[in-house]
């Protein structure tokens, strides 16, 4: 009799687990490619080889079975706006910016909203470099304060405030491609861009952009995160921490293999 009761309890528990409603995580990311982290300039999520960051976020379902993930692609400024308005639950790749605390949460070391950002739970690290017209004569010593020229940057990216805070005059454009075209045509002397994106554009547009050079050292290197909305963290505090903990596990276990895969794409 006791065995039958125990079996019944186990079956009930199993059925509850199997039929429990999954928690949906609505994730937005940029509709412009950032190889190898996300691929193709499109509002659609590619069915094959969508990008390293996309696959890392997809893997959350493997490690956290109660999650259901829904992806959307849109311009980056709309991504950040949508997170702040709770129209989506998460965005990536988002570098740390104090101003963005108004729209959502980063993983923090003390699990508090305004705590120190937890770099161990990042998605990845990306560097910004200056891409200059050869004829502009820019002498780059790694100090932003020394730049007197107008520098291009992608609209809504954190590098815009980084430059402005150092007194640099910034001209924003929609994306990295537009910035590089302006540099190539001499409309601006240089642009501060993520090298993972800009290098790929230059490689594929050598004829039009052969007069652009990449200057060392990097302007800045930044960690990038999966940000969560304030409402999602408020409604699911333990799950939010589990998601960020799992991102760390995925980066440590899966990133190397994913990188090797996209080196061949």
Question: What is the CATH number for 164?
Answer: 3.40.190.10
> Is the same domain home to 201 and 131?
yes
Q: Using CA atoms, how far apart are residues 175 and 198, in angstroms rounded to an integer?
A: 10
Q: Are residues 62 and 182 in the same domain?
A: no
Write down the pLDDT at residue 20: 58
Residue 107 maps to a domain = yes
Nearest alpha carbon to residue 55 among 263, 198, 247: 247
218 within a domain of the structure (yes/no): yes
**Cα–Cα distance measured from residue 86 to residue 233, given in angstroms and rounded to the nearest whole number:** 11
pLDDT per residue as tens, the chain (265 positions):
555 544 555 455 444 444 457 999 999 999 999 889 999 999 999 999 999 999 999 999 999 999 999 999 999 999 999 999 999 999 999 999 999 999 999 999 999 999 999 999 999 999 999 999 999 989 899 999 889 999 999 998 999 999 999 999 999 999 999 999 999 999 999 999 999 889 989 999 999 999 999 999 999 999 999 999 999 999 999 999 999 999 999 999 999 899 888 877 7
Report pLDDT for 14.
47
Residues 148, 77, single domain; the answer is no
Do the domain assignments include residue 15?
A: no
Domain-located, residue 215 = yes
Residues 39 and 73 in one domain: yes
Q: How far apart are CA 110 and CA 112, in angstroms?
A: 5
d(CA 7, CA 64) in angstroms, rounded, equals 26
Per the structure, the complete domain to which residue 115 belongs is given by 22-124+223-263
**Is 13 inside any structural domain?**
no
Is 195 inside a domain boundary?
Answer: yes
Structure confidence at residue 16 (pLDDT) = 43
11 within domain boundaries:
no
Q: Are residues 196 and 130 in the same domain?
A: yes
Question: Quick one: tokens of 87?
Answer: 């129209």
Distance CA 245, CA 93 (A): 16
Are 131 and 213 spatial neighbours (Cβ–Cβ below 8 Å)?
yes
């Amino acid at each position: 009799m006791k065995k039958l009761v125990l079996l019944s309890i186990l079956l009930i528990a199993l059925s509850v687990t199997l039929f429990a409603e999954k928690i949906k995580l609505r994730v937005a990311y940029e509709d412009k490619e950032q190889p190898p982290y996300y691929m193709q300039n499109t509002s659609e999520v590619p069915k094959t080889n969508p990008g390293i960051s996309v696959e890392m976020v997809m893997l959350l379902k493997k490690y956290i079975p109660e999650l259901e993930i829904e992806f959307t692609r849109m311009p980056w400024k709309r991504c950040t706006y949508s997170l702040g308005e709770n129209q989506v639950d998460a965005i990536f790749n988002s570098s740390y910016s104090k101003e963005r605390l108004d729209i959502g949460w980063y993983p923090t070391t003390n699990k508090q909203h305004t705590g120190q950002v937890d770099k161990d739970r990042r998605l990845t690290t990306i560097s910004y470099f200056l891409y200059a017209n050869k004829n502009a004569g820019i002498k780059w010593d790694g100090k932003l304060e020394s730049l007197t020229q107008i520098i291009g940057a992608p609209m809504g990216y954190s590098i815009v405030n980084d430059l402005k805070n150092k007194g640099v005059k910034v001209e924003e454009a929609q994306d990295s491609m537009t910035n590089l075209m302006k540099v190539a045509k001499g409309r601006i002397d240089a642009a501060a861009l993520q090298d993972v994106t800009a290098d790929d554009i230059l490689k594929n547009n050598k004829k039009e952009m052969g007069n652009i050079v990449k200057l060392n050292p990097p302007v800045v290197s930044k960690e990038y995160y999966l940000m969560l909305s304030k409402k999602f963290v408020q409604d699911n505090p333990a799950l939010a921490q589990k998601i960020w903990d799992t991102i760390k596990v995925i980066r440590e276990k899966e990133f190397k293999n994913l990188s090797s895969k996209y080196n061949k794409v």
